[in-house]
Structure 1
Amino acid sequence: MAGVRQFDEAAALGRALEVFTSRGFRATSMLDLAAGTGVQRGSLYHAYGGKEEIFLRVFRAYAQRFLDDAAEALARPDTSSALLSFFDYCIGAITRGTPSHGCLSTRTALDASRDAPRIDTAVRELLDGLETVVHDGLTAIKDGRGLTVEPRAAARLVVTTTRGLAVMERAGFDPDQLRDIAATQVSSLVAQPR
């Protein structure tokens, strides 16, 4: 039937995300996507357009899940445990898999965004969204401890640290070493009780 997809769209897009996560945007071809999804290249073009359109579709869904899970990780009763939980979530996300797959958004920012303005915008939207999630999570906590800097600056610093952790993971730092880095960041951001 015309107009009816002859493949499981959710499964195909999930596998496309795996291909992009494994290979990166720039190194992924439409042939790679066809092989990875089990959907013929012509059907992918017909259904979604080219590689960039497929990437944007799966990246935006990935970004929304990531932001939702990050907000959940921050939902803790005190500032220190909220930030440690958030960093633990982020570290788990980048070290998952064998071998670990790293951070799709950081990889994309370094790999592809300057050549593809729409992808650059999507990555920036994720990072801005993550800053807002962290800011809102921190300002919702009323544990009386406070931060050593104002909440927006703290949120931006936390997001920047997540990007640094992603690079350190690619350089061979293990999850425990990454958690140590995160713990140091948390101790510098959370005011100590008097």
Structure 2
Amino acid sequence: MAGIRQFDESAALERALEVFWQKGYGPTSMQDLAEATGVQRGSLYNAYGDKESLFLHVYNQYKTAYLQDLRTALAQPRLDDSLRAFFDFCINSMTAGTPTRGCMTTKTATDIQSSGENIQAAIKSMADEVEQALTERLSTADALAQLELQPAEAARLLATFTRGLVFMERVYQDPARLKATAGSLIKVVVRA
């Protein structure tokens, strides 16, 4: 029947996300996506257009879930616990999988083949929303009394630091090291 998807869309999108996450945008082909999803290339093209459109679709779903989980982590009552939960969430996300999958956003941002305007806008939107979530948490009364920096400055520093964690994860693949380093930054940002 025309116009009706003949496949389990949520399962196919989840598998497509995993392929993009593991391989990166550029190295992923529509054939890779067809094999992973069990959906023929023609059906993928009919349903989503091209590879970029499919990527943007799954990335938007990823972003929504990621930001929801990030905000949950930041919802801890004590500021230092909130920031530890934030970093634990980020580190657990990038170290999941075998081999570890790294950070989807950073992997895409550094991929020369993903330099298209729409993909770059999606990545920038994600970075902005992470920074905004941090700024909101750091703007609460308890946080303001403990911060060494203004909320927006601290948020930018923390968000930027997570990109360095991604690099260090790729080099050392040691979550304990990443968490210890994040703990050191928290001590710099939050007054004892």
Q: TM tier, shorter chain?
A: over 0.9
Q: Which amino acid aligns with 1:28?
A: T
Q: Is the 8 A contact 1:102 1:166 kept in 2?
A: yes
User: Residue 121 of structure 1 corresponds to which residue in structure 2?
Assistant: 121
Q: 1:188 to 1:141 in 2, by over 3 A?
A: same
How many residues are aligned here? 192
Deviates more, 1:48-57 or 1:170-179: 170-179
Q: Deviation of residue 116 (structure 1)?
A: 1.1
Q: How does 1:115-194 map to 2 (within 5 A)?
A: 115-140=115-140, 142=142, 145-192=145-192
Cα–Cα, structure 1 residues 125 and 113, in superposed 2: closer, same or farther, change >3 Å?
A: farther
Q: Which residue matches 1:6?
A: 6
The alignment's C-alpha RMSD in Å is 1.3
Q: TM-score, structure 1 length as denominator?
A: 0.95
Cα 1:143/1:48, change in 2 over 3 Å: closer
- 1:59 paired to 2:59: yes
Gaps of 5+ in 2: none
After superposition, residues 78-97 of structure 1 pair within 5 angstroms as 78-97=78-97
Letter in 2 for 1:138: L
C-alpha displacement at 1:63, in angstroms?
0.7
Kept in 1: contact 2:34–2:44 (CA 8 A): yes
Distance 1:113 1:70, change over 3 A: farther
Q: Deviations over 1:108-150 (max 9, x none)?
A: 0001476311101100000000000111112235267421000
1:30 touches 1:51 (CA, 8 Å); kept in 2? yes
**Counterpart Cα distance in 2 of 1:32 and 1:46:** 16
In the TM superposition, residue 3 of structure 1 has moved relative to its aligned partner by 0.8
Structure 1 segments of 4 or more deviating over 3 A? none
Give unpaired runs (5+ residues) of structure 1: none
Measured in 2, the distance between the counterparts of 1:173 and 1:132 equals: 28
CA contact (8 A) 2:19 2:33 kept: yes
Q: CA 1:129 to 1:143, structure 2 compared with 1: closer, same or farther past 3 Å?
A: closer
For the structure 1 residues 144 and 126, does the alpha-carbon distance in structure 2 shift closer, same or farther, using more than 3 Å as the test?
A: closer
Report the residue type matching 1:43 in the other structure.
S
Tell me by how many angstroms 1:172 deviates: 2.0
Cα shift readout 1:160-184 (whole Å, capped 9, x = no counterpart): 0111101110112400000011001
Structure-2-length-normalised TM-score: 0.96
